[in-house]
Homo-oligomer: A and B are copies of this chain.
Amino acid sequence: MRVAFWRGKGSAQRPLRLSLARLAGLAALAVLLGLVGCAAKVSPPPAPPPPPPPAELRDILTLPQDVAAYFDPASLDRPLLSSKEQRRFAARLRELHFAPWHRSAPAHARADALWGLAALKPGRHYGENLRPLEPTFRARMEALAQSEGYPNLMRPAIATANTSLRVLPTHRPGFLKPDKPGEGYPFDYWQNSALLAGTPLLATHMSADGAWVLVEGRVAAGWVPVRDIAFVDEAFMAQWEGLPLGAVIREGAPVSARFADEATPAPHLFTGRIGMLLPLLELGPGGVTLLAPAREATGQAVSLAVGLAADEARPLPLPLTPRAYSGLVAQLMGQPYGWGGFLENRDCSALLLDLYAPFGIFLPRNSRQQSRQGERIPLDGLSPEAKEALLLERGRPLLTLVHKPGHIMLYLGQRNGRAVILHDLWGLRTRSHKGEEGRFVVGRVAVTGLTPGAEIPDVVRSGLLLPSFDAYTQVVPEADTARK
């Protein structure tokens, strides 16, 4: 049972009680200060409570949420990188993409691969019922993970579904105390990363029940349900590595198998996502034929031909123009924030990782790694004003990352002399007039200035972004560009 009421008496009474307390407080203060005579029984009316915070960031309401708006229309189709630079980037992305198939040992030592077990402290994590995890949980995870045998599998594999890399072999969540500000749903600390269908994997280790496999992919490792992957053989790998790659550029494009037997209806395999890479079998006038993986009942992978239209997939790398980048961002604008790829959404670093992939540019998984992935410009000792001036001066639109600890953003250009960024932002720290800490939740992909929320009284000044910026990163080192 759950007991739910649309409007509880308790909450209706709250404002009244607060007003009484404030009234009483004013009167008492007067007594304590000795300012009021005994006859003074009437206090001034209490100050009205402050208005509720706005529902939306001013930046989102006033800045165009369209990346193309920050470019001169005449420059929209001008490539930001030479085709030689793009080919060089794409070769590296491709190598890293297939690298898990060429590994003879795990990339992660046991303690690294199974760090989730060590993080499981009694009473620290809360489950889906918002209560501390039951005492037997840790033992169950340890039995499933059978860490003493790591690695017990070492087989090349491939993701056959869009799925999640988990810190532990379970779908159950690990929240910190759910009533702490900024904790609880959706911050499941056992959600590590999204894993896109078609990603080459090294399956290093299997759970005791055979239901979960620990895998290593291009950007991350973690536990995945065995039914979301399939094992590949030499012939499969040879076919995939013998072809160029194509990039999905339409978020949500259905990927369906074409069978030679026309009588069999094309079954849906998985949903295309920006950032997904698949071998390119054929490039036609109306679109492309790609290879997609599917899992047979035996657990082996088969390779199936799938057709996608020209606006759904293209050969890798797509020329990096403002128009092309803007077209990808437009599809993700407003998409809910997804910690660790929760529900196939993206967090701040996954957004950039996936946006760069179709252009052949590799980014690593998390914000700190990304900020060290090109030429890093540290901001030590700079005032907020100096940081913004430096960004306006040296930032290259779509090619400069902006970092603060735990958050990564993309420089878009300027508007009325102020810098503008694209990012996927959870929230800004607030303190209410009652002193309660909370979050102003943005919770999605948005275009903002460098201090979104500065206009909101509850947003804590120290929680604003710009003062914490610690580095800019030129994805393409300036030296390289000068060399061309």
- Report which A residues bind B (CB closer than 8 A): 1-6, 8-11, 13-14, 17, 20-21, 23-29, 31-32, 34, 36-38, 40-41, 43, 127-131, 134, 161, 171-172, 180-187, 209-211, 226-227, 252, 254, 256-257, 259, 264-271, 294-299, 302, 304, 334, 336-339, 342-345, 348, 367, 404, 406-408, 423, 425-429, 431-432, 434-439, 441, 443-444, 463, 465
Q: Could you say which residues of chain B place their CB within 8 Å of the CB of A21?
A: 21, 24-25
| Partner of A25 from B25, B254, B302 at Cβ < 8 Å | B25
Shortest beta-carbon distance from A100 to chain B in Å: 20
Task: Apart from A14-B436, A21-B25, A267-B298, list 7 A-B contacts with CB within 8 A.
Answer: A2-B187, A3-B429, A14-B434, A24-B25, A128-B343, A209-B271, A297-B302
Q: Could you say which residues of chain B place their CB within 8 Å of the CB of A211?
A: 254, 268, 271
Please judge, given known A-B contacts A28-B27, A31-B36, A441-B130, whether A10 and B227 are in contact too, CB under 8 Å. no
A441 to chain B: closest residue by CB: B130
Q: Could you say which residues of chain B place their CB within 8 Å of the CB of A304?
A: 297
| Partner of A29 from B24, B343, B367, B406 at Cβ < 8 Å | B24
* Complex A-B: 28 CB contacts under 8 Å: A1-B423, A2-B182, A2-B339, A3-B427, A6-B180, A8-B181, A8-B437, A10-B436, A10-B437, A11-B437, A21-B24, A23-B28, A24-B27, A27-B28, A28-B31, A32-B41, A38-B38, A128-B338, A129-B186, A129-B337, A129-B441, A130-B186, A209-B252, A210-B266, A226-B268, A227-B268, A227-B269, A296-B297
Do the beta carbons of A427 and B348 come within 8 Å of each other? no
Do the beta carbons of A31 and B37 come within 8 Å of each other? no
**Complex CA distance for A355 and B254, rounded to whole angstroms:** 39
| Partner of A267 from B209, B299, B406 at Cβ < 8 Å | B299
**Complex CA distance for A102 and B198, rounded to whole angstroms:** 38
Please judge, given known A-B contacts A129-B186, A181-B11, whether A1 and B268 are in contact too, CB under 8 Å. no
Q: Could you say which residues of chain B place their CB within 8 Å of the CB of A161?
A: 227
**Complex CA distance for A39 and B258, rounded to whole angstroms:** 91
**Complex CA distance for A26 and B131, rounded to whole angstroms:** 36
| Partner of A437 from B9, B129, B264 at Cβ < 8 Å | B9
Shortest beta-carbon distance from A445 to chain B in Å: 11
Shortest beta-carbon distance from A455 to chain B in Å: 17
**Complex CA distance for A31 and B35, rounded to whole angstroms:** 13
Shortest beta-carbon distance from A171 to chain B in Å: 6
A404 to chain B: closest residue by CB: B1
Q: Could you say which residues of chain B place their CB within 8 Å of the CB of A465?
A: 1
Q: Could you say which residues of chain B place their CB within 8 Å of the CB of A271?
A: 209, 211
Do the beta carbons of A348 and B1 come within 8 Å of each other? yes
The 7 A-B residue pairs whose C-beta atoms are closest, nearest first, are: A1-B407, A129-B443, A10-B437, A24-B28, A8-B437, A210-B268, A294-B297
Shortest beta-carbon distance from A268 to chain B in Å: 4
A13 to chain B: closest residue by CB: B435
Shortest beta-carbon distance from A372 to chain B in Å: 17
Q: Could you say which residues of chain B place their CB within 8 Å of the CB of A265?
A: 299
**Complex CA distance for A477 and B436, rounded to whole angstroms:** 56
Do the beta carbons of B24 and A254 come within 8 Å of each other? no
Shortest beta-carbon distance from A50 to chain B in Å: 15
Q: Could you say which residues of chain B place their CB within 8 Å of the CB of A41?
A: 31-32, 34
| Partner of A129 from B128, B295, B435, B444 at Cβ < 8 Å | B444
Please judge, given known A-B contacts A31-B28, A38-B37, whether A3 and B439 are in contact too, CB under 8 Å. yes
Please judge, given known A-B contacts A10-B436, A11-B436, A227-B161, whether A209 and B38 are in contact too, CB under 8 Å. no
A349 to chain B: closest residue by CB: B1
| Partner of A428 from B3, B182, B269, B336 at Cβ < 8 Å | B3
**Complex CA distance for A343 and B173, rounded to whole angstroms:** 9
A301 to chain B: closest residue by CB: B297
Shortest beta-carbon distance from A224 to chain B in Å: 12
**Complex CA distance for A199 and B43, rounded to whole angstroms:** 70
**Complex CA distance for A465 and B2, rounded to whole angstroms:** 11
Shortest beta-carbon distance from A313 to chain B in Å: 15
Do the beta carbons of A443 and B25 come within 8 Å of each other? no
A171 to chain B: closest residue by CB: B343
Do the beta carbons of A259 and B427 come within 8 Å of each other? no
**Complex CA distance for A227 and B435, rounded to whole angstroms:** 49
Q: Could you say which residues of chain B place their CB within 8 Å of the CB of A23?
A: 28
